[in-house]
Amino acid sequence: MLNYNIRGENIEVTPAIREYVEKKIDKLERYFNDTPDANVHVNLKVYNDKQTKAEVTIPMPRLTLRAEERHEDLYAAVDLILDKLERQIRKHKTKVNRKFREKTNEPEFFATTVDAENGIEELEPVTVGADDGDESEFDIVRTKTFNLKPMDSEEAVLQMNMLGHSFYVFTDADSNGTNIVYKRKDGKYGLIETEA
């Protein structure tokens, strides 16, 4: 069951907006064998130039779906987000199902009626920048909190690619250490292992 947490910034989340968002995101349920029990976090924002931004994050066991979109029309932004989330699912369905079989002996996570397709959108990274040219001070402009789930490096790379990020922090299932996988400029992947 999908539970919705919809927040608005500079916009009132009306019943019509809430109903539209829930109706659209509920369409993702057809991609799963069983409807996942997950919280859907939706942030809607209107800027001074009347541009809107919609951001959807759906954390699930061993998988996080996330997309954001800017558009003049909020409803169009929600439509585009649904397209992005569907592309993420289609692109990585086979890999995720294989990892579920190997790790848990459970039935496949995604329904098998979905064909793989290329395409994933780049997401806005966490940004740290200098404050007015003063290199000794840095402002954190965005903070994210997430659980470090135990997994192996291959699964971490899969998760990183699904999110569209260039790095991913995770807990190594074997060593229980905090590790980082990242995408190199040559298109290959790197692993940073930490020591206590």
Residue 137 lies in a domain: no
The whole-number pLDDT of residue 80 equals: 92
Question: Does an H or E element contain 157, and which?
Answer: helix 153-163
Query: Which one is predicted more confidently, 100 or 49?
Result: 49
Q: What is the pLDDT of residues 130-187, one digit of tens each?
A: 334 444 455 677 777 777 878 888 888 888 887 778 888 888 888 888 889 999 888 8
Residue 120 lies in a domain: no
The whole-number pLDDT of residue 106 equals: 53
Residue 112 lies in a domain: no
Beta bridge partners of 189: 183
Residue 98 lies in a domain: yes
**Are residues 158 and 87 part of one domain?**
no
Cut 0.75: pTM above it? no
Sequence-ordered list of residues with C-beta below 8 angstroms from that of 150, at least 6 positions apart, any chain: 170, 171, 172, 173, 176
List the domain range (segments joined by +) for residue 187: 143-193
Residue 34 lies in a domain: yes
SS3 61: coil
Sequence-ordered list of residues with C-beta below 8 angstroms from that of 186, at least 6 positions apart, any chain: none
**Are residues 147 and 100 part of one domain?**
no
**Are residues 94 and 18 part of one domain?**
yes
Q: How far is it, in rounded angstroms, from Cα 162 to Cα 87?
A: 10
Residue 132 lies in a domain: no
% of the chain surpassing 90 pLDDT? 22
The answer, yes or no, to whether residue 101 has pLDDT greater than 80, is no
The whole-number pLDDT of residue 124 equals: 34
Question: Does an H or E element contain 45, and which?
Answer: strand 38-46
Nearest to 57 by CA among 47, 70, 42, 46: 42
